[in-house]
Structures are given as C-alpha cells and as structure tokens.
C-alpha cells in the first residue's frame, strides 16, 4: 500500500510534466534552479567541514531550523501548495491508517523540495567527516530531521484543511499570508545586521535554537564532535519526541479529517443591495467598472495587491530613512505597480469571461470599464502617495515633477495594460485560489510578457522620465512643470490610445482569448 | 421580381429557409490538435420550436453550441440566428440570443442579484428594466432568499439557475441552453420547464442539449442525435424516434450497448 501511494505520487508528477511543452520548460527551469541551489548547498556544506566545530554548529543549527520552519509555514501561506496526495481523496479507499501515514510521508519526499531537503540534510555527514562519531550521528539525525520536516508540514496541512474548506478562511488567509512575506526582506535584513553587528549574535541564536524542536536535531552531531554525549542524547530525545508527538497528533487529526468533510457554512442573504452596480452609470462600460471594482475588494487575488500597497509605503519609509529619496518616489512607484496590475485581467476572469462574450460587449466598453475601475481608486492613492511623502520629507517644491511622473506612469500604464490584457493571457491563480499559487510552467510566458511590457512602459514614459532627470540635474522649476504637463497630456493620449486599440484587438480576438484562458483549469 | 440566376431550391441550398430558421447551423467543423471534435454539423431550428440536441458524452454538443453562439471560432461553416451570421455580425446576432454555456465559470464573487444585473447591464439595458426583471427572474427560479448570497457559495443547481436567469434577462428570441437541467432539483427543473414551455408558446425558440432522453422526448418537439461530431438523425421527435422510444432509438443509432453477461462477480446472489 505504501508502495502504491509512492507510485501514485511519482505518476502524478510525471503526468503533470507531460501536459504541455510550456509547463515542461517551466519544470525543467525550476528543476535546474533547484539543482543549482542544491549544488551550492552541498559545496558549501562540504567546505564548511574544514572550519572549527563551533562555526559548523552555528551554521547547521540556524540553517536546519530555518528549513524545518519553512516546511511548517509555507503550506499554510500557500493554502495547499501541493495537495496531490490530499488525504481527503483517499477517504473512500479504506486504507489502514498507519499505511496511509507512511505513504503520505514518503510521498511528501517525492518532489523538488523533498529531494533537495533530503540531499542537503544528508550532506551534513560529509561536513562532519573529520569526526567519525559525529558523522554517524549526523546521518541518523538528518533522516529523523527530514522526517520531522515532512510530518510537521503534513500535520499543519491536515489541521488547516478542515478550515480551508470554508471559503471565507481561504479568502482571508490568502491576504494575511502576504504580510509576513512582505516583511521577509526587512526581517532578513535585521538578522543580517545582527550578525554583522555582533559576532556573538549568531552563536547565541544557535544556542537558543539548539534547545528547541526546530534546531535540536541539527545540533546533535556538534555535541558529539565536541565531546558532550549528555547534551547530544538530550537534544536527540527532544527531536525524536517532537517527531513522535507530531506523528500522533497528525494521525489523530487525519482520523478526524477523514470522517469530517469540510463544510462551508453560508448564511442566506436576501437581495436588495446592488453595491457598486447601483453607483456606476447603467451602461455596459459602467457595469464592467462596477464588476471590476467589486472584484478588487472581494476577490483575494485582487485585494491582496491592495493590501500590499500600504506596506510598500512603510517599507520605503524605513528603508530610505525619513530624508531618503526612495520615500519621495513612493507615488510614481505605486502608480507603476497599480497600473500594471490589470495587465492580466482577462486571465484572472478565466472562463467567466464568456459572459462578456455571450452578451456581446464591445471591446471599447470592456477596456474602458476595467481601466475606469482601476483609476477610481488608483488616482486618489497615487495623489496621496505623491503629495504626502514630499510634505513629510519637506520637499514641496518637487510636487510638480513628482505629480507629473506619477500621473504619467499611471495613465500610460493603464493604457498599456488595456492593450496587453486584450492580447496576451497566461496562467494565473484560478478564481478562489490563493494569490500565491502560480501554476507551474507558466512562469516563462508570464515573465516574457511582463518583462517586455515593462520595457515598453519605460519607453512610452520616456519623455516624463527624461524631463524628471533634467529637472533634478538642473534644478530648474520649469522642467518640473513641463513634466506635469507632459505626464498629463501624453498619459491621457496613451490611455485613450491603449483603450481604443485594445478594444479593437478585443473585438477581433475575443473568442481566441476565451479559448486561451480556458486552457488554465 | 426577376433575376438572372435561377432561384435556389430547398434541396441544394438551405439559404432559401434563412428567413425563417431561428438558428441555422451549416457545416460547422472544429479540430483540436489531432482530434476532430465537430465534423460538419448542419441543423435547422425552426422558429417557435423546442429543439433537443442529444448525444453521448464527448459527441461534440458543447463544441457545436459554442461555435453556434460565437464563443468558439469554427474552422469551417456558418451559424445564422434569424438570418444574422454569428461570425460576421456577432454583436447583432448576440442580441437575439440568450446563452447558457456549460462548463464555464461565472463571476462568482458577485451576489446572485448582482450577477443577473450585470448580465442585463452588459446588454445595454436600462436600469429600471434590469432591476424589475432581475426580481422577477429570481422569484421565478426560487432564488429570492439567496439573492444576496455570493454565487461562489451557491450549490451546483442554484449556480445553474442563476446562469439561466442571466441568459433570460434580455428576453432573447432564441435560447441556447447547454445542459440546463444538470444537478437541478426536480421541483426547480419543473419550474424551468414551465418557463421554457411558456416562452416557446409565445413564439420564442429554444435549443437544449441534454443526455436525459426521457426529458427531451417529453419536452421537445424537434430533436437531433449527434455522435462523434456528426449528426446521425434530425427532425421532429416523432420522425426521429419512429415507433420506439427516443432512448431506444438513440441507443440504436449511437450503438455501444454491452449485451454480453459482463461483471458476473458483481451479482450478490
């Protein structure tokens, strides 16, 4: 039975490769990336072996703890990142529970993250080659630690899977999970600063982690090498006990989950509230705008990017300091990000787009509505984000140039996005999925479209950009006002052009767009 | 009125019937890679008829209807709605049609009421009419109590009903319904049948695809049997079924019944 489950996982992995060439390229690229990272880790670990045991210990404990933490946290953030062996799918097969557990653990190792973790953990043995006893301990501990990773990750997935059945939880989780990721940069920055600030910081961090379930197993070989068998035994017991505890807990939650299908409690609600549909003009374009704006607030895939925006402000404020130039460019940066965010609008609609097709919406109305919904909230955000930082940093004289640049980018970008989304589609998270979940193998097309799109955007906004540079070089206020003028006029012209040409493309290619998005399911 | 060209006859040119057919499908064909999904399907749906399109799974029903409604560009062939070519004048043709596609998503983060309103406004209708008809449709389909619930939280049957409401809002002359009764409960199905029958009696035309033969035999006056992308038989229900039931005739046309003993081990006694 265990072998069956393992074979199933391998088969699923293999079949998913065969679905399309694009996907295959993506998986190969992902595999090469994983291989590269793995190679670096292996070489690093082998080289680390020549250092003194204290340093080896610090590196291994911190790195190992981070790995275990990653296995626990990532599945929550990604809301079911790899549910190919979802226990719920085995409910009807009456598989004995311990066999199901074993199969799921081994299945969890099949796949790029599992293999990379396993090989990296086993490379520890090479690191400790100079201390045979420690190397032996490293072998045992590496296997237990990898098991701990998989079991912890499975426990978390099973525990939240009863929650993730409810749509509301999924929606909120999809947004909230973004927040730690945004702060990942500053956190890593802070930890790095800690390392640089005091050499003892890393060692004390490792000392603490070594007594937690996260790091205990990774510290055992060092204890053996440094001749402290008591500590080694104790730490190994901590690690092993955690593994057993997690296994028991997982077995319990699995048993519970298998007989408790997820239930989505929904309160019935009578109508009467048309929301944005009551506030926008009753025209096709107005309806598209109302729908798009409703989605910006209600669909986590869209609202996640809205939630991010205040954090961009906070990040820029702290990274550049209160007087920093980075903060002053908050407006243009936000405008750029927001404007580009509708460039995959039809991909996000997925096959729901067929309603636009079957009701015979003109391309112009479709483009206009989507751009209008974007501008309704991006225009005020851009204005506030441009004006407020300049006032805070005490540079009100830069207002014209910054407004010109920000508005120019916003309008130009909205125009370009209207064009791009009428022509190019790529696989994005499906409606209802986490905003994180990018279908594998689509990254190639996505990056091509995005990369070229950004270059075109810079080219289109070149007049504003050049004028901004000239303004800062010469300090002549005239160029500031010129930037504002060019930004508004050129931006408006490009917006209209983008909507018109995009509308024409849409009219001639709408059925092909529907066919393209329906490939992503 | 005289012409240099002799007038076309019905046999060699279906053009003569254009003015009357609610939906005229002529030689539609579609290939996906190696697979020919639809291989030259021609159908005439007379105005005021209740037309059933039946066929086994994968016969090309959905592909045919998608091509006939402007959702999927055909490789060959034409589709005309009351004489308007769907692929030459798509916007005019779509005004005449109400479409319930199968297997597509809805804008399911809208409430049921918002979704139907959206469909109406996209068609360019004025707000008062949309609001009034949305209320009527929700009542008729027994969705009033869930009007403010998000469509994503609807059951499969409710989702089907709200999609049907979105297809009806502009009072089309032709309804193209792909599997309208799938996962709909019997009471709602009876209500929908009444709505459709009334619609046909008032002069509208309906084409439904289904694989429930019994339903088609009771409900429709015309039927076409389609398998492997081609039309096997088409005409009035009585013409197609002859003396047998539609189901027997269907099985006879399509084939594939297993008459051998089979699965003897499954018998419990």
Give the pLDDT mean for A296-302: 86
Pairing mode of beta strands B35-45, B23-32 = antiparallel
How far lies B258's CA from each of A469, B108, B267, in Å?
A: 79, 41, 17
Q: CB of B188 within 8 A of CB of B141? A: yes
The alpha-carbon gap from A293 to the nearest alpha carbon of chain B, in Å, equals 11
Give the pLDDT mean for A60-78: 81
User: Would residue A283 count as lying in a domain?
Assistant: yes
Q: CB of A260 within 8 A of CB of B98? A: no
Q: Please report residues of A whose CB lies closer than 8 A to that of B73.
A: 511-512, 515
Rg (CA), chain A: 27
pLDDT score, position A290? 96
B97 contacts A270? CB cut-off 8 A = no
- Judged against a pLDDT cut of 90, whether residue A22 lies above it is answered with no
- Judged against a pLDDT cut of 90, whether residue A12 lies above it is answered with no
Q: What is the pLDDT of residues B38-47, one digit of tens each?
A: 999 999 999 9
- Judged against a pLDDT cut of 90, whether residue B71 lies above it is answered with yes
| Cα–Cα–Cα angle for A218, A223, A228, rounded to 5 degrees | 155
User: Would residue A111 count as lying in a domain?
Assistant: yes
Give the pLDDT mean for A256-265: 67
Domain closes at, from A225, A259, A293 = A259
- Going by pLDDT thresholds of 50, 70 and 90, the confidence category of residue A241 is very high
- Going by pLDDT thresholds of 50, 70 and 90, the confidence category of residue A261 is low
Give the pLDDT mean for A386-391: 91
pLDDT score, position B47? 93
Give the pLDDT mean for A396-405: 92
A351 contacts B104? CB cut-off 8 A = yes
Out of A282, A357, A515, the one facing B126 most closely (by C-beta) is: A282
pLDDT score, position A29? 75
Which residue in chain A has the smallest CA separation from B67?
A511
> Is B65's Cβ below 8 Å from some Cβ in A?
no
- Going by pLDDT thresholds of 50, 70 and 90, the confidence category of residue A360 is very high
A429: DSSP letter: P
User: Would residue A267 count as lying in a domain?
Assistant: no
pLDDT score, position A335? 93
Give the pLDDT mean for B143-150: 92
> Is B171's Cβ below 8 Å from some Cβ in A?
no
- Going by pLDDT thresholds of 50, 70 and 90, the confidence category of residue A81 is very low
- Going by pLDDT thresholds of 50, 70 and 90, the confidence category of residue B160 is very high
Are A32 and A154 members of one domain? Answer: yes
> Is B84's Cβ below 8 Å from some Cβ in A?
no
Which residue in chain A has the smallest CA separation from B143?
A270
- Give the domain range for residue A58: 2-259
pLDDT score, position B206? 95
Chain-centroid distance, C-alpha A191: 21
Give the pLDDT mean for B111-118: 95
Q: Please report residues of A whose CB lies closer than 8 A to that of B72.
A: 511, 514-515
The alpha-carbon gap from A42 to the nearest alpha carbon of chain B, in Å, equals 44
Which residue in chain B has the smallest CA separation from A360?
B91
B70 contacts A515? CB cut-off 8 A = no
Q: In what order do the strands lie in the sheet with B23-32?
A: B35-45, B23-32, B76-81, B84-85
Closest CA to A485 of A464, A462, A507, A501: A464
pLDDT score, position B17? 43
pLDDT score, position B6? 41
| pLDDT higher at A43 or A426 | A43
- Going by pLDDT thresholds of 50, 70 and 90, the confidence category of residue B68 is very high
B90 contacts A518? CB cut-off 8 A = no
- Judged against a pLDDT cut of 50, whether residue A402 lies above it is answered with yes
- Judged against a pLDDT cut of 60, whether residue A164 lies above it is answered with no
B242: left (phi over 0), alpha (psi -120 to 50) or beta: left
Q: CB of A87 within 8 A of CB of A104? A: yes
- Going by pLDDT thresholds of 50, 70 and 90, the confidence category of residue A50 is confident
pLDDT score, position B5? 41
Q: CB of A373 within 8 A of CB of A294? A: no
| Of A175-179, A487-491, B51-55, minimum mean pLDDT range | A175-179
- Judged against a pLDDT cut of 80, whether residue A176 lies above it is answered with no
Q: Please report residues of B whose CB lies closer than 8 A to that of A518.
A: 104
Distance CA B165, CA B167 (A): 5
Name every residue whose Cβ is closer than 8 Å to that of residue A469 and which is 6 or more positions away in sequence.
Answer: none
- Judged against a pLDDT cut of 60, whether residue A11 lies above it is answered with yes
pLDDT score, position A14? 73
Q: CB of B117 within 8 A of CB of A274? A: yes
Q: Please report residues of A whose CB lies closer than 8 A to that of B144.
A: 270-271
Out of B71, B117, B118, the one facing A354 most closely (by C-beta) is: B71
> Is B139's Cβ below 8 Å from some Cβ in A?
no
Name every residue whose Cβ is closer than 8 Å to that of residue B228 and which is 6 or more positions away in sequence.
Answer: B39, B59, B60
The alpha-carbon gap from A349 to the nearest alpha carbon of chain B, in Å, equals 7
Which residue in chain B has the smallest CA separation from A514?
B71
- Judged against a pLDDT cut of 50, whether residue B256 lies above it is answered with yes
Q: Please report residues of A whose CB lies closer than 8 A to that of B74.
A: none
User: Would residue A345 count as lying in a domain?
Assistant: yes
Complex ipTM over 0.90:
no
- Judged against a pLDDT cut of 50, whether residue A54 lies above it is answered with yes
Among A153-157, A190-194, A501-505, name the most confident range. Answer: A501-505
User: Would residue A269 count as lying in a domain?
Assistant: no
- Going by pLDDT thresholds of 50, 70 and 90, the confidence category of residue B13 is very low
- Going by pLDDT thresholds of 50, 70 and 90, the confidence category of residue B213 is confident
- Going by pLDDT thresholds of 50, 70 and 90, the confidence category of residue A178 is low
B71 contacts A511? CB cut-off 8 A = yes
Residue among A266, A285, A359, A504 with most chain B CBs within 10 A, to mutate: A359
pLDDT score, position A202? 80
Residues in chain A: 521
- Going by pLDDT thresholds of 50, 70 and 90, the confidence category of residue A434 is low
A284 contacts B122? CB cut-off 8 A = yes
| pLDDT higher at A175 or A28 | A28
> Based on the structure, what is the number of domains in chain A?
2
> Is B256's Cβ below 8 Å from some Cβ in A?
no
The alpha-carbon gap from A153 to the nearest alpha carbon of chain B, in Å, equals 29
Closest CA to B44 of B207, B183, B186, B169: B207
Out of A269, A287, A349, the one facing B121 most closely (by C-beta) is: A287
pLDDT score, position A384? 94
Phi then psi dihedrals of residue A335, to 5 deg: -60, -45
User: Would residue A35 count as lying in a domain?
Assistant: yes
Domain closes at, from A198, A233, A259 = A259
B130 contacts A357? CB cut-off 8 A = no
pLDDT score, position A26? 67
The pLDDT mean for chain A works out to 83
The alpha-carbon gap from A235 to the nearest alpha carbon of chain B, in Å, equals 49
A515 contacts B145? CB cut-off 8 A = no
A267 contacts B149? CB cut-off 8 A = yes
pLDDT score, position B7? 42
A358 contacts B113? CB cut-off 8 A = no
A286 contacts B148? CB cut-off 8 A = no
- Going by pLDDT thresholds of 50, 70 and 90, the confidence category of residue A394 is confident
Give the pLDDT mean for A297-321: 78
pLDDT score, position A437? 61
| pLDDT higher at A119 or B258 | A119
Among A12-21, A383-392, B14-23, B259-268, name the most confident range. Answer: A383-392
Give the pLDDT mean for A217-229: 89
A274 contacts B121? CB cut-off 8 A = no
- Going by pLDDT thresholds of 50, 70 and 90, the confidence category of residue A33 is confident
The alpha-carbon gap from A140 to the nearest alpha carbon of chain B, in Å, equals 49
Give the pLDDT mean for A228-257: 89
* Residue % of chain A over a pLDDT of 70: 82
- Going by pLDDT thresholds of 50, 70 and 90, the confidence category of residue B18 is very low
Give the pLDDT mean for A491-505: 96
Are A325 and A441 members of one domain? Answer: yes
- Residue window 204-243, chain B: list those with CB within 8 Å of chain A: none
The pLDDT mean for chain B works out to 88
Q: Please report residues of B whose CB lies closer than 8 A to that of A285.
A: none
- Going by pLDDT thresholds of 50, 70 and 90, the confidence category of residue A173 is low
User: Would residue A443 count as lying in a domain?
Assistant: yes
Q: Please report residues of A whose CB lies closer than 8 A to that of B137.
A: none
Distance CA A382, CA A391 (A): 14
| Burial state string for B82-118 with b = 16 or more CB within 10 A and e = fewer than 16 | bebbbbeebeebbbbbbbbbbebbbbbbbbbbbbbbb
Distance CA A218, CA A221 (A): 7
Are A209 and A287 members of one domain? Answer: no
Selecting from 3.20.20.30, 3.40.640.10, 3.40.228.10, 3.40.50.300, what CATH number does the domain B20-251 have?
3.40.50.300
Residues in chain B: 269
pLDDT score, position B43? 94
The alpha-carbon gap from B265 to the nearest alpha carbon of chain A, in Å, equals 20
User: Would residue A264 count as lying in a domain?
Assistant: no
Out of B99, B124, B138, the one facing A284 most closely (by C-beta) is: B124
Q: Please report residues of A whose CB lies closer than 8 A to that of B94.
A: 358-360
| Of A179-183, A298-302, A508-512, B66-70, minimum mean pLDDT range | A179-183
- DSSP 3-state of A6: helix
| pLDDT higher at A264 or A457 | A457
- Going by pLDDT thresholds of 50, 70 and 90, the confidence category of residue A375 is very high
Which residue in chain B has the smallest CA separation from A166?
B153
**A–B interface: beta-carbon pairs under 8 A:** 132
B107 contacts A295? CB cut-off 8 A = yes
- Judged against a pLDDT cut of 50, whether residue A80 lies above it is answered with no
């Amino acid at each position: 039975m265990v072998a069956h489950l393992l074979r199933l996982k391998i088969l699923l992995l293999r079949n998913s490769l065969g679905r399309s060439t694009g996907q295959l390229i993506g998986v190969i690229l992902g595999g090469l990336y994983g291989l590269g990272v793995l190679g670096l880790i292996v070489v690093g670990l082998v080289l680390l072996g020549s250092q003194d045991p204290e340093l080896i210990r610090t590196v291994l404990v911190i790195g190992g703890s981070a790995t275990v933490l990653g296995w626990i946290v990532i599945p929550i953030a990604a809301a079911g990142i790899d549910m190919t062996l979802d226990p719920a799918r085995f409910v009807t097969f009456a598989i004995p529970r311990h066999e199901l557990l074993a199969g799921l653990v081994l299945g969890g190792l099949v796949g790029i993250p599992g293999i990379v973790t396993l090989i990296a953990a086993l490379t520890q043995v090479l690191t400790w080659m100079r201390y045979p006893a420690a190397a032996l301990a490293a072998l045992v501990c590496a296997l237990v630690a990898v098991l701990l990773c998989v079991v912890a990750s499975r426990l978390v997935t099973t525990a939240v899977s009863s929650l993730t059945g409810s749509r509301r939880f999924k929606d909120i989780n999809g947004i909230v999970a973004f927040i730690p990721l945004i702060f990942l940069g500053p956190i890593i920055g802070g930890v790095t600063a800690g390392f640089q600030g005091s050499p003892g910081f890393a060692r004390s961090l490792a000392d603490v982690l070594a007594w937690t379930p996260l790091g205990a197993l990774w510290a055992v070989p060092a204890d053996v090498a440094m001749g402290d068998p008591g500590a080694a035994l104790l730490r190994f017991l901590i690690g092993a006990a955690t593994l057993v505890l997690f296994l028991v807990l997982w077995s319990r939650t699995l048993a519970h989950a298998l007989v408790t299908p997820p239930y989505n409690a929904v309160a019935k609600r009578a109508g009467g509230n048309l929301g944005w549909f009551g506030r926008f003009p009753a025209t096709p374009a107005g309806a598209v705008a109302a729908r798009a704006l409703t989605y910006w607030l209600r669909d986590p895939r869209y609202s996640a990017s809205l939630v991010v925006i205040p954090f961009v402000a906070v990040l820029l404020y702290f990274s550049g300091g209160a007087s920093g130039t980075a903060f002053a460019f908050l407006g243009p940066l936000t405008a750029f990000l927001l404007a580009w965010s509708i460039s995959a609008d039809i991909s996000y609609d997925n096959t729901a787009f067929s309603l636009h097709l079957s009701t015979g919406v003109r391309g112009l109305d479709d483009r206009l509505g989507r751009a209008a919904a974007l501008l309704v909230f991006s225009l005020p955000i851009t204005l506030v984000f441009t004006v407020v930082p300049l006032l805070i940093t005490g540079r009100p004289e830069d207002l014209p140039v910054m407004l010109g640049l920000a508005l120019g980018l916003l309008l130009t970008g909205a125009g370009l996005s209207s064009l791009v989304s009428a022509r190019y589609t790529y696989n994005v998270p499906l409606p209802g999925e986490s905003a994180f979940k990018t279908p594998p193998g689509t990254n190639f097309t996505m990056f091509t479209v995005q990369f070229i799109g950004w270059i075109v955007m810079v080219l289109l906004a070149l007049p504003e950009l050049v004028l901004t540079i000239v303004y800062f070089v010469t300090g002549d206020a005239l160029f500031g006002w010129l930037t504002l003028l060019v930004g508004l006029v050129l931006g408006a012209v490009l917006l209209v052009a983008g909507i018109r040409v995009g509308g024409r493309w849409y009219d001639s290619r709408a059925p092909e767009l529907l066919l393209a998005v329906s490939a992503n399911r | 009125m005289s012409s240099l060209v002799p007038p076309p006859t019905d046999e060699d040119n279906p053009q003569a019937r254009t003015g009357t057919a609610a939906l005229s499908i002529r030689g539609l064909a579609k290939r996906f890679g190696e697979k020919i999904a639809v291989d030259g399907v021609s159908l005439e749906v007379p105005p005021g008829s209740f037309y059933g399109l039946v066929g086994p799974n994968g016969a090309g029903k959905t592909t045919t209807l998608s091509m006939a409604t402007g959702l999927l560009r055909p490789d060959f062939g034409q589709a005309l709605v009351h004489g308007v070519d769907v692929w030459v004048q798509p916007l005019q043709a779509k005004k005449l049609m109400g479409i319930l596609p199968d297997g597509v998503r809805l804008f399911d983060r809208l409430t049921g009421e918002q979704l139907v309103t959206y469909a109406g406004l996209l068609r360019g209708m004025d707000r008062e009419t949309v609001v009034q008809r949305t209320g009527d449709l929700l009542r008729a389909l027994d969705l009033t109590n869930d009007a403010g619930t998000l469509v994503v939280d609807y059951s499969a049957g409710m989702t089907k009903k709200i999609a049907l409401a979105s297809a009806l809002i502009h009072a089309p002359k032709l309804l193209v319904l792909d599997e309208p009764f799938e996962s709909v409960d019997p009471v709602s199905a009876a209500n929908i049948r009444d709505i459709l029958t009334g619609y046909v009696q008032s002069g509208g035309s309906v084409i439904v695809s289904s694989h429930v033969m019994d339903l088609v035999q009771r409900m429709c006056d015309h039927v076409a049997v389609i398998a492997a992308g081609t039309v096997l038989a088409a005409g009035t229900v009585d013409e197609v079924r002859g003396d047998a039931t539609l189901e027997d005739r269907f099985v006879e046309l399509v084939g594939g019944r297993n008459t051998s003993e089979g699965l003897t081990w499954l018998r419990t006694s």
